[in-house]
Structure 1
Amino acid sequence: MNARMTNPAEILPDATKGVQNIYKAIAQAGAPGATLELVHLRASQINGCSPCVFGGIKSALKNGETDERLHQVAAWRDSDLFTASERAALELTEAATRLADRPGAVTDEIWAAAAEHFDERQLSGIVMMIALTNMFNRINTTVRTPAGATW
């Protein structure tokens, strides 16, 4: 598959600067890096964003994640490889990514489960990672960025 156009981040380099600042803020929020990697990968799987799945796996492996856990992210509910806090973050990711599936997609129960494991600063980082990943997924899917391409 060929891309429809050059990635907008290459055409609008000031946008990339903004994204880098958001990433910096996410990293400083204090949520575990492994959790942020899982959040990115799960949202990208849901949205079918092949370059983000590819890049997410590559980044997670580089940061110490295991093949076994990465192979089970799509079925995390049925796996015993994820901690309670990771499960809460993955559930929040799914709800926030699938907003159109049901009214009030991020229920009070889902939020409370995440808030049991993360403070407000960490939750801010996780929510921002979910939102940023969804933005990347929509851009890449729209312009048909091929798997393996990076920003």
Structure 2
Amino acid sequence: MQARIENPAYLLPESVKAINLLYKEAHSAGVEPATLELVHLRASQINGCSPCVDSGARNARKNGETEERLYAVAVWRETPYFTEAERAALALAEAATRLADRPDPVPDDIWAAAAAHYNEKQLAAIVLWIATTNFFNRINAATKQPAPQNWG
């Protein structure tokens, strides 16, 4: 696949400052980095964002995530590999990514499950990271950004 245009962040380099701030803030609230990686990967799978799925899985693996868990992210409900806190974050990621799939996009039970494991600041970080991931996914899908071919 060939991209329609170069990555917009390269074409509009000042946007990188804002993107870096979003990343920094989402990763500063005390949520386990592995949880944020899983949230990013799941939202990217739902949106079919090949560069984000590819880089998300590679980064998670580089940071110590097991292949077993990475292979199972798309079917996390049917596997024993995830903690209850991770499951709550993954459910929140799915609901907040699939906004148009139901009249109440993020039902109270999904929010309550996440709130049982994360404080307000951590919930804010997870929601911010889900939104940031969806932001990346939409840019990449609209411009047909391919997954990298060489990871030398």
CA distance in 2, matches of 1:125, 1:65: 20
**Do residues 17 (structure 1) and 17 (structure 2) align?**
yes
Aligned to 1:46: 46
Aligned to 2:4: 4
Structure 2, unmatched stretches of 5+, are none
CA distance in 2, matches of 1:37, 1:68: 15
What pairs with 1:30-69 in structure 2 (closer than 5 Å)?
30-69=30-69
Give the 3-state SS of the residue equivalent to 2:147 in structure 1: coil
- TM-score norm. by structure 2 comes to 0.96
Structure 1, unmatched stretches of 5+, are none
* RMSD of aligned residue pairs (Cα, Å): 0.8
Larger relative helix fraction: 1
Give the 3-state SS of the residue equivalent to 1:103 in structure 2: coil
Q: Amino acid of the residue matched to residue 68 of structure 2? A: E
What pairs with 1:1-151 in structure 2 (closer than 5 Å)?
1-148=1-148
Identity %: 60
Moved over 6 A (4+): none
CA distance in 1, matches of 2:22, 2:143: 22
